[in-house]
Amino acid sequence: MLHRSRLILTALAASALLALAVGDAAAGRFSANERNFELIWDNALPGKTKFELIGNSAGVNIQCKLTLLGRFSSNTILKVTGINQSTINHGELNECEGGTATIRAETFPWNLRYRSFTTSLPNIKSISTGLIGARFRSESGGTTCETQTEANHPGIGIIEGGLETTGEPENIIADRNGRIPLRGSFFCGFAGEGEFGGTGLVRNLPRTAKIRVTLI
């Protein structure tokens, strides 16, 4: 009888843990403790790099320091693919290598849209977001290109590093698998697509603290 009671208690405990894990996985929203944020690609920061504008077929590979200033639409964000999480309202490019680049400021605000997340329950491991409406003009070796991210061709950022342990992301990594249309000179049009690259820093605005993100 005692053995049977122990088996029942063990089964109940396992069921409770499973229910907790399923509940965490099914959580429908993220919570952020800050509304305003900065994304900074700067190779002077430990473990970070410049932002890369890459068009290999067009012979374009430009690296610049980049700062983007944004704001979450709310402190709670629905975990639904394709919805706007936030806007990017201002950006600065400087100290470029391999060519020159500028931001087409008239295209602000840009949108960040939730794509997916990975988890090692009960914690978030990474969040994937898509940048929509961003437009850059670049020139390298006589080739001038324009890149503009679109809903079907977003610039993809992977937010990670610290989420799994403290809930405070450290990095945003420009995913080079995101294909961005290239426009401009013959070589850009012929190349068809480019990509973004580089590892940036995630901070609140005005860069005084980390941002804490949790599943709720």
If you average pLDDT over residues 198-211, what whole number do you get? 95
Q: How many domains does the chain have?
A: 1
Does any domain span residue 8?
Answer: no
pLDDT digits (tens, 9 = 90+) for 162-176: 998 999 999 999 998
Residues 6+ apart with CB under 8 A from 124: 30, 117, 118, 163, 164, 167, 213, 214, 215
Domain, as residue range, for 191: 28-215
pTM of the model: 0.83
Does any domain span residue 73?
Answer: yes
Residues 6+ apart with CB under 8 A from 90: 68, 69, 108
Does any domain span residue 15?
Answer: no
Does any domain span residue 17?
Answer: no
pLDDT digits (tens, 9 = 90+) for 25-69: 446 888 999 999 999 999 999 999 999 998 766 567 899 999 999
Does any domain span residue 16?
Answer: no
